Structure 1
């Protein structure tokens, strides 16, 4: 009966509910599949897809997901997350501590642009579903952005690269997969139209960046925007691990963000005497 008080065991078993994994002694099932049936037959990108989406992807879907994940693994120690991983390693902490320190800074500003880009694309896709043409939907969304939002159009421009070398290749591959019917190509079209319209309005080219390009792929594959950030974290964790491991083999200790002969710019009060001390 529904009103019957449940036993302690029943309450314990129902404390967490999940459709992801079933596990008991001798049994591990992921989304209903025996783990031993998946091992050696399912790639890591396919396993990510299965865990997040509940079903196995096609080989092409898994391949395209792997392409996006592989493209964003690292951007060097100038990237805050990578620098933090290396600095943490010089403090004598373990790999997990260094990785956690780095991953914790992947937020709205550093790591969140892909989610923002896919949300932007999604607004345009929704307008197109409502009957607007591509050019009209893009123009309308950019009008709203420039009228009321701050910052850069998500997914465009890079502070180091005049043209992000990763983005054109990712779009090229996305269109190749679209030509084979793996994805629709809709988000690639949207990103291209945004890039073209912004160039017209600004009078200069502001090319797609890695966040905008991977957002295209994640959108083509049907991932919602919040998962785009999580997928970026998975991707960048590879570089974070590599740098933490490399740095851990070095003899540097307590290495800060700048060489010791380079000090920060002090902008506070000039040197002064403590009140009551003689001049």
Structure 2
């Protein structure tokens, strides 16, 4: 049996010690800022950055984070995360369960490419800074390695859009910040080098929302896994909107195919047991 006699109050209160929020009777602080000051002077995007990164963002960071969160908010009901939430809400679950259902399908394949691309860009920039080669050459080698093992380069190409409409406006914001000296631009150069290396192999494969978002997050110093978390936070807005819309339609138990359509059956032909009765 574990002896608990030496567990004191200090050990107990340290169990969930946090640097994020301080709570006391009549007091709430986010990273040291009283909530009443945040309400008066801050916006939601700045609060996200403060809570996850520890300090309020400068204007460049705030503008870029705001833009990338807007760009990632939704991609229509054909996106598995959205469809999953819409189907869930027709089964009688609450709005929170429907949103959770959508969020829970955001995995490595659907929702993870941004994290993977941040990691790739960060690696290329780090290796270039350590003198392993020029960024263009390192990017070309990386593309060749992905192709050799038959893998997609994360953040590039889109199954639906020949050119992702979110690419250019976000890219322009990053380029403007780099030109003004507010960002270093290394992740931007790495992303464009990957895009050029893909195009050099015979067909243009422009960066998608995951790729341009990864450039933004890498330029802002966001770790790869946190970048995925921020994408999930953004996409939760679309998931919520679609789940709420579906809940207002009144249809119950809405499956993946509209009636009277049924999924094709490709198993064994009908077989009988016993005398068939």
* TM-score, with length taken from structure 1: 0.93
Give the equivalent residue in structure 2 for 1:141: 142
Moved more, 136-145 or 47-56: 136-145
Contact kept? 2:164, 2:208, Cα under 8 Å: yes
Does 1:244 pair with 2:243?
yes
Aligned counterpart, 1:15:
15
Size of the aligned set, in residue pairs, is: 272
Give 1:222 shift. 0.8
- Tell me which residue corresponds to 1:66: 66
Shift of 1:182: 2.1
Query: Shift of the alpha carbon at 1:42?
Result: 1.2
Report what 1:36 is aligned to: 36
Q: Secondary structure at the match of 2:152?
A: coil
Verify: 1:119 aligned to 2:113, yes or no: no
Retained in 2: the 8 A contact 1:61–1:182?
no
The alpha-carbon distance between structure 1 residues 62 and 261, as it changes in their structure 2 partners (threshold 3 A), is: same
Distance across 1 between alignment mates of 2:28 and 2:217:
29
**Over the residues paired in the alignment, what is the CA RMSD in angstroms?**
1.5
Residues 146 and 152 of structure 2 are in contact (CA less than 8 Å); yes or no, is this contact kept in structure 1?
no
* Segment of structure 1 superposing worse, 172-181 or 191-200: 172-181
Contact 1:123/1:141, CA 8 A, preserved across alignment: no
Q: Runs of 5+ in structure 1 lacking a partner?
A: none
Rounded to whole Å, the distance in 1 between the matches of 2:70 and 2:224 is 19
- In the TM superposition, 1:1-279 aligns within 5 A as 6-131=6-131, 132-147=133-148, 149-201=149-201, 203-274=202-273, 276-277=274-275
Shift of 1:144: 2.8
Question: Which is worse superposed, 135-144 or 157-166?
Answer: 135-144
What do the CA deviations read for 1:38-64 (whole angstroms, capped 9, x no partner)?
A: 113111111111111111111221111
Please report how far the alpha carbon of residue 22 of structure 1 lies from its aligned counterpart in structure 2 after TM superposition.
1.1
Q: Which runs of 5+ in 2 are unaligned?
A: none
* Native 8 Å contact 2:69 2:234 kept in 1: yes
Q: Which runs of structure 1 show a deviation greater than 3 angstroms over 4 or more consecutive aligned residues?
A: 5-8
SS at match of 2:159: coil
- Asked if the contact 2:140–2:193 (Cα under 8 Å) also holds between the matched residues in 1, the reply is no
CA contact (8 A) 1:166 1:210 kept: yes
C-alpha distance in structure 2 between counterparts of 1:7 and 1:106, whole Å: 40
Distance 1:118 1:7 in 2: 43
What are the Cα deviations for residues 96-135 of structure 1, in whole angstroms up to 9, with x where unaligned? Answer: 1110110000010110010011111112111111112121
Cα distance in 2 for partners of 1:7, 1:113 equals 45
Between stretches 230-239 and 11-20, larger displacement belongs to: 11-20
Cα distance in 2 between the residues matched to 1:144 and 1:160: 25
Distance 2:255 2:151 in 1: 30
In structure 2, distance between residues paired with 1:254 and 1:278: 33
How far is the alpha carbon of 1:140 from its aligned partner?
2.4
